Amino acid sequence: MKRYVIGIALVLLGACVGIMLAPMLSAQQGTKGYSTTMIERTDLQNIPGQEVLVFTSEWAPGAALPMHVHPNGHEFVYVIEGEQTFHFQGGRVKTVKAGEVIYTPPDTPHFGENATSTSSRVVVFRIKDKAEPISVEVGK
């Protein structure tokens, strides 16, 4: 009986983890030439309701994300290798090279791309309301 209960508990735990990770995994696989890994997600103890997320991302030449926003979320992107080009609604474009950082304020429509012929790698830091999604595609 004890093994039966442990087995059911493991199945339920696996289902819960699968449900929680499904949106993140589909976002990772939805853009050709782009992969991302969440390496940290933690509550900000001195700011109730806020969390910080840290990702690493690798971009193949020509890879681009769709236009999106981070609802009530601050985004800092540090380019480790190569360069990234960021496009903001209204036409502003900013290219960020290795060793540089770009800050995107909350609710700012934007997208990033690797407009070069070589791969790029970045570290992304986001500070956001726990209740809000990580990102929302603009126009959907």
pLDDT grade for 1, boundaries at 50, 70 and 90: low
In this structure, how many other beta carbons lie within 10 angstroms of the beta carbon of residue 95? 13
> pLDDT per residue over 71-104, tens digit each?
999 999 999 999 999 999 999 999 999 999 999 9
Please tell me the predicted confidence (pLDDT) of residue 7: 40
Look up the CATH number of domain 33-137: 2.60.120.10
Question: Is 103 in contact with 93 (CB distance < 8 Å)?
Answer: no
Alpha-carbon distance of 16 to 21, in angstroms, equals 9
| pLDDT score of 24 | 44
Q: How far apart are CA 52 and CA 72, in angstroms?
A: 12
Domain with CATH 2.60.120.10 in the chain: 33-137
With beta carbons less than 8 A apart as the criterion, state whether 12 and 24 touch.
no
pTM (two decimals): 0.76
Distance CA 64, CA 116 (A): 11
Map residue 53 onto helix, strand or coil: strand
Task: Give me the pLDDT at residue 139, please.
Answer: 80
62-76 pLDDT, tens per residue?
A: 999 999 999 999 999
Looking at residue 31, its pLDDT comes to 67
β-bridge partners, 75: 104, 126
